Every structure is written in C-alpha cells, then in structure tokens.
C-alpha cells in the first residue's frame, strides 16, 4: 500500500471545505483502504495552529476528528539537512524532509510556490517522492482506482 504525506495546507483546506479536493483526500484517507498517511508533529501543529488562529473552533475540531480517524504514522525526524535548506525555504524544509524520512510515495500540497520549484521536484524525485497538488493526486487516484471508492 502506498504512503501519502499530506501537507498542513491540505488538512487546513479539508477542514474548511470538506466537499473540495483536499476534503475528498481526507475522506479517502479515513477509509484506510487505498493508502496510508504519514505525517509529522510539525505538520499537525502547523495545521492546528492555523485553524485555531484563522477559523472557527468547529474547523479545528473537524481536523482533530479527521486526524483521529486517519491515524497517520507520525515521525519527528531530526532537522532538515543543509542540502534541503538550500533548495526550499526554512518553513517548508521540515515538511519535505519528513516526507522523505517517512518514505512517502507522494507529498500532496497546495504550496505551488515552494514545492513545485524545479530544484525541489528534482530532489524529491531523487528520493522517490512525487509532489502533487490535490487535483493531480485525485486524477492519478481515479486512473488507478476508478469507481472503487
């Protein structure tokens, strides 16, 4: 079974809009049938902090419920290497590093500015990590699984 690493912005977006692409990915993750989810404490803390700061308590509660249902494999890798810090900003380096340490097959993110830079994509690919937007992930998912939802 493949491993998918969800960026904090996927949890945030999914909690705000359960009917959107990120919300659909979270709903699929809750089934624990098609893929397993990896995460890091850094990602979980960032998602929760942003939900508490920018939205209603109901959205933070929704995120925590989803997290409990998903049961992601949580890792807390050591700090990102200088090699990673050379290609991506310091705020996103722990996310890329954690996805690689978790041996995720795919990192799903809405952050096109930082994660879709050619140097980041090349580094991720060298570590057998595909970086995808929710739309790209869902298109690949539907090609692979069709109507098995």
Query: Which pTM value belongs to this model?
Result: 0.93
Structural domains of the chain in order of their starting residue, each with its CATH number: 2-145 (3.40.50.1010)
Q: Which of helix, strand or coil describes residue 108?
A: strand
Reference 84, options 75, 103, 102, 97; nearest CA is 97
Instruction: Quick: pLDDT tens for 64-88.
Output: 999 999 999 998 887 888 899 999 9
> CB count, 10 Å around CB of 8?
25
Q: Which of helix, strand or coil describes residue 106?
A: strand
Instruction: Quick: pLDDT tens for 117-137.
Output: 999 999 999 999 999 999 999
Query: Residue 85: what pLDDT?
Result: 92
């Amino acid at each position: 079974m493949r491993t998918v690493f969800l960026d904090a912005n996927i949890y945030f977006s999914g909690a705000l809009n359960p009917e959107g692409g990120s919300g659909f990915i979270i709903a699929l993750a809750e089934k624990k049938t098609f893929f397993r989810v990896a995460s890091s404490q850094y990602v979980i803390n960032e998602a929760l902090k942003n939900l508490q700061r920018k939205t209603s308590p109901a959205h933070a509660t929704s995120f925590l419920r989803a997290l409990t249902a998903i049961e992601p494999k949580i890792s807390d890798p050591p700090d990102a290497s200088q090699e990673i810090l050379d290609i991506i900003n310091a705020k996103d380096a722990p996310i890329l590093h954690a996805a690689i340490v978790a041996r995720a097959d795919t990192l799903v993110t809405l952050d096109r500015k930082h994660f879709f830079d050619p140097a980041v994509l090349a580094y991720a690919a060298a570590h057998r990590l595909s970086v995808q937007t929710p739309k790209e992930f869902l298109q690949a998912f539907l090609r692979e699984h069709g109507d098995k939802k």
